[in-house]
Structure 1
Amino acid sequence: MEWKIELVDVPVSDVDRAIVFYRDHVGFTLDHDHRVGEGIRFVQLTPPGSACSIAFGEGISEMAPGSQRGVQIVVDDAERARTALLDRGVAASEVDDQPWGRFVRFTDPDGNAWALQELPASP
């Protein structure tokens, strides 16, 4: 039996601002933006090439905006990913070289923290 993570909730305070940030600045694809009912709006975006998406909206999370930590996205080239973020206006850390990979960190407008990881070369 396979278990796949396919959706990660990202708590935000302003749905429209978050859409602009993740779609226009980070480069995710907007998959869904549906008002399901009174006080419920579901938004889903997917990073390029990923099988896992993020979701946020109105009435779908009990987490405080900005409280998401520890989500990592694997990239082929940390330096190139950092440059792409900077070119789109996202403040990103310098590349952090570690024995277990190269990392770039950034936050969304609410303070949700992200890490991009370039995996180390296989021996």
Structure 2
Amino acid sequence: MTTHLRSLHAVAIPVTDQDAALGFYRDVLGLTVSLDEHLADDFRWVEVALPDTPVRLALVRAEDGFAAGRDTGIRLMTADAAADHATLTTAGVDVGDLLLWDTAPPMFALRDPDGNTLYVMEPPA
């Protein structure tokens, strides 16, 4: 069996308030809004993206079986983890310790207003 799958478009993050989540991802993390549409009376699809990357983060309404407050496993790449850690700490974002291991690139965890965990890291050497 062979499929025609060729790329990854979006990864969904469950949020309790799409407007608040959009404000965080856009205004605090600096992502751009690539799509914000009401597709039905009670269904809104919101996507945000980093510059120069094809994969989007879809901020979807949390529901039973897809609750907010999870470890997303998402890794966001940065050129300077220490600078981003300092900036986000100053902005009041819930960030973990800046990890500086000899065998891995600098990285840290952050949590969005719903408690979803994402990771920020520099590219591996």
Q: TM-score, normalised by structure 1?
A: 0.83
**Structure 1: how far apart are the matches of 2:104 and 2:67?**
31
Name the counterpart of 1:37: 40
Name the counterpart of 2:69: 66
Give the aligned residue type for 1:19: L
Name the counterpart of 1:23: 26
After superposing the two structures, state which structure 1 stretch, 4-13 or 52-61, moved more.
52-61
> Structure 2: where are the runs of 5+ without partners?
none
Give the superposition deviation at 1:51.
2.1
Q: CA RMSD in A?
A: 2.3
Question: Which residues of 2 match residues 3-18 of structure 1 at below 5 A?
Answer: 3-18=6-21
The number of residues matched between the two structures is 121
Q: Deviations over 1:27-73 (max 9, x none)?
A: 11011111011211000000233221100234899511222421111
After superposing the two structures, state which structure 1 stretch, 91-100 or 112-121, moved more.
91-100
Name the counterpart of 1:91: 94
Give the aligned residue type for 2:84: A
Give the aligned residue type for 2:39: V
Name the counterpart of 2:119: 115
Q: Deviations over 1:58-92 (max 9, x none)?
A: 48995112224211112111112223323443232
3-state DSSP of counterpart to 2:16: coil
Give the aligned residue type for 1:112: N
3-state DSSP of counterpart to 1:55: strand
3-state DSSP of counterpart to 1:70: strand
Q: TM-score, normalised by structure 2?
A: 0.82
> Would the aligned equivalents of 1:26 and 1:88 in 2 still touch at CA under 8 Å?
no
> Would the aligned equivalents of 2:16 and 2:62 in 1 still touch at CA under 8 Å?
no
